[in-house]
Amino acid sequence: MTSNSKKWDALKAAFPRTIPVMIAYGSLGMIFGVLMNVAGFNFLYPTIMSLTIVGGSLQFLAVSLLQASFAPAQIVLMTLLLQARHLFYGISMLEKYKGTGWKKPYLIYVLTDETFSITCSAGIPEGIDKGWFYFFTSLLDHAYWVIASLIGGLLGSLLTFNTEGLDFAMTAMFVVIFLEQLMKEKKHYTAAIGLISSLVCLIIFGTDVFLIPTMICMLILLTIFRKPIERSGDFNDNEFE
Amino acid sequence: MIMSLSEKIITIAIMAGVTMAVRFLPFIVFSSSRPTPKFIQYLGKALAPALFAMLVVYCLRNSNPLVGNHGLPEYIAVAVTIAVHLWRKQLLLSLAAGTACYMLLLQFVF
Where are chain A's structural domains? 2-184, 185-241
The C-alpha of B37 sits at a distance from chain A's nearest C-alpha, in angstroms, of 11
pLDDT by residue, tens only, chain A of 241 residues: 467 888 999 999 999 999 988 988 888 888 889 888 888 899 999 999 999 999 877 898 888 788 888 888 888 987 887 788 898 899 989 989 988 999 999 999 999 988 998 888 878 888 899 999 999 999 999 999 999 999 999 988 676 666 677 778 778 888 988 898 888 888 888 899 999 999 999 999 988 788 889 989 999 999 999 998 888 866 654 444 3
Q: Which residues, 6 or more positions from A206, have their beta carbon under 8 angstroms from its beta carbon? A: none
Eight-state DSSP code of residue A156: G
- The H or E element spanning position A87 is helix A85-93
Question: Of the candidates B18, B40, B56, which has its C-beta nearest A178's C-beta?
Answer: B56
Question: Of the candidates B32, B44, B77, which has its C-beta nearest A91's C-beta?
Answer: B44
Q: Do B22 and A83 touch (CB under 8 A)?
A: yes
Cα A6 from Cα A220, distance rounded (Å): 42
Look up residue B61 and give its amino acid.
R
Largest CA distance in chain B: 57
Q: Looking at beta carbons, which residues of chain A come within 8 Å of B12? A: 45, 48-49, 52-53, 62, 66
What's the pTM value of the predicted model, to 2 decimals? 0.80
Cα A26 from Cα A6, distance rounded (Å): 28
Residue A168 and residue A50 in contact, taking contact as beta carbons nearer than 8 Å: no
B54 Cβ under 8 Å from any chain A Cβ: yes
Q: How many CB atoms lie within 10 A of CB A130?
A: 16
Which regions of A86-241 does DSSP assign to beta strands (E)? Answer: none
Q: Do A86 and B55 touch (CB under 8 A)?
A: no
